[in-house]
Amino acid sequence: MEVGETRDLADVIVATLSLASVRHGMPKIRLSDFYKEFEKLQKNFPDLIPDLQTSREAGVIYSRVLGDAVEGALRLGVDIANPRFQYLVVSQEKGQRALERLRKRTGDEFIDHLDPVAAELAASVRPPGSNGTALHTK
């Protein structure tokens, strides 16, 4: 599936990050953690997230497929925040608006199927013992 198509990887990213913010208290994620966690999510949800064609160099995960989709997601409501553009951010307000737009374009089923993906992402970056915002900001 190409970026720009309805229900493409950019839509999956926007929906997942928006759901993580709105429903699971995770408004931002370090970009490096996002790549690592999305690789895991793809393995756990292969029917929802296409092959990311990841590679590793010096312990860093990279995926051109995911990078292109993140660029698309930035045009659809995900923000990239300083310091030094290290975080993907979706405020609850922006997340709610993004979900409403996506629901109109993709339908309820698409969003509903991605809620477990968002829950797993939020849980994976939430510090142990916290029941607040999931970050990984160090």
Mean pLDDT of the 117-135 span: 74
Higher pLDDT: 132 or 117? It is 117
Mean pLDDT of the 95-116 span: 95
Instruction: Output the pLDDT for position 3.
Output: 44
Q: How far apart are CA 98 and CA 61, in angstroms?
A: 27
User: Does residue 2 form part of some domain?
Assistant: no
The pLDDT confidence band at residue 128, using thresholds 50, 70 and 90, is low
Q: For residue 74, give its domain range.
A: 9-125
> What domain count does the chain have?
1
Instruction: Return the amino acid letter for 92.
Output: Q
The pLDDT confidence band at residue 131, using thresholds 50, 70 and 90, is low
User: Does residue 37 form part of some domain?
Assistant: yes
User: Does residue 133 form part of some domain?
Assistant: no
Asked if residue 136 has pLDDT above 60, the reply is no
User: Does residue 105 form part of some domain?
Assistant: yes
User: How many CA atoms lie within 13 Å of 49's alpha carbon, on the beta-carbon side?
Assistant: 25
